[in-house]
Amino acid sequence: MKAYITYFKLKFISGLQYRQAAYAGIATQFFFGIVYIMVYIAFYQSGGKNIPMTLSQIITYLWLNQALLALINQFSRDKELFKLVKGGGISYELARPKSLYFMWYFKILGQRLSNVTLRVFPLLFVTILLPEPYNLSAPSSINCLILFIVSLILGTLLVTALTVLYPIITLTTIDENGIVNIVITISDILSGLVVPIPFFPLFLQKISSVLPFQYISDLPFRIYVGNISISNGIYGIVIQFIWLIIITLLGVLLLNKSMKRVVVQGG
């Protein structure tokens, strides 16, 4: 376990060096956050009926989405891992007496945490100080805050497990485009990054409820704003944990199977 923590630390520390990229990301996410909020304010002022979330809830949901985007997005890829797979460097990884899956897992986790560390606090600080209705609201209760933290941790672990699948798939397909892009597009939509799940048509809500993507970000954000009851939040966290186990086991099995057929070309 100490070796995997070392991989995590190395990736985390190296990620903290890209401060200019983080500053650009903060400005970009703040800009898009304001734009999204203006769109929703116009939508709410148009007099729509049966709206599933209050204006305060949706604005807080959107700010959490932007502030934690580097942590919970599915389109982030570790280019080094793809380079290892496609360039033959994976042979050096196999020479190490450690689980290849968990080496990759902790590297990706370290990268995600380092990216969000540089962005989340400035964004949260600024959005809390914004005037109503543009500001980030406090959690609806202490219980919601506790469940939010637990759910966010599980969501982070879950999205990391999903991200590890991308280089594993590349071991078979040779190229990361195609099926990986399809999975990323579907997961972006069904995780609530584009539109919150409560605004989906009923049939799409049912589909998203049986897939893992909703439990990455939509669940913890809706727990925070109080759009989900405590009992439903606990139930969702249980489902999160089950999906984490399933995706992790799937990744380990696929990687072990791929290693039996892997061919490293070159001289």
Q: pLDDT per residue over 40-60, tens digit each?
A: 999 888 876 778 999 999 999
Average per-residue pLDDT in the chain?
86
H-only helix segments in 46-99 = 55-67, 69-72, 79-87, 90-94
Q: Whole-model pTM? A: 0.90
Q: Quickly tell me which residue has 């200019």 as its tokens.
A: 20
- 84 or 221, greater pLDDT: 221
The predicted-structure confidence for 61-81, as pLDDT tens digits, reads as follows 999 999 999 898 877 766 677
Residue 93: its pLDDT value, please?
63
Q: Which long-range contacts (CB under 8 A, 24 or more apart) does 124-131 make?
A: 124/63, 124/67, 126/30, 127/30, 127/33, 127/63, 127/67
Span 194-216, average pLDDT: 91
At 100, the pLDDT band (50, 70, 90 cuts) reads: confident
Q: Would you state the pLDDT for residue 6? A: 81
244 has a pLDDT exceeding 50: yes
Give the number of other Cβ atoms within 10 Å of residue 260's Cβ: 6
Among 57-61, 109-113, 188-192, 257-261, which range has the highest average pLDDT? 57-61
Query: Within the chain, where are the H helices?
Result: 2-15, 19-45, 55-67, 69-72, 79-87, 90-94, 100-129, 142-173, 179-190, 202-209, 218-225, 230-259
Please give the pLDDT value at position 17. Answer: 80
Condensed to tens digits (0 to 9), the pLDDT of residues 143-189 reads: 999 999 999 999 999 999 999 888 888 777 766 677 778 888 888 88
pLDDT at 267: 43
Contact 74, 81 (CB under 8 A): no
- Can you tell me the distance from the alpha carbon of 22 to that of 116, in angstroms, rounded to the nearest whole number? 8
Checking if the pLDDT of 263 tops 90, the result is no
**Residue 266 above 70 pLDDT?**
no
**HEC letters along 152-185:** HHHHHHHHHHHHHHHHHHHHHHCCCCCHHHHHHH
What is the arithmetic mean of pLDDT over 131-142? Answer: 91
- 86 falls in which pLDDT band (50, 70, 90)? low
Residue 189 pLDDT: 87
- pLDDT reported for residue 184: 83
Rounded to whole angstroms, the Cα distance separating 204 from 123 reads 31
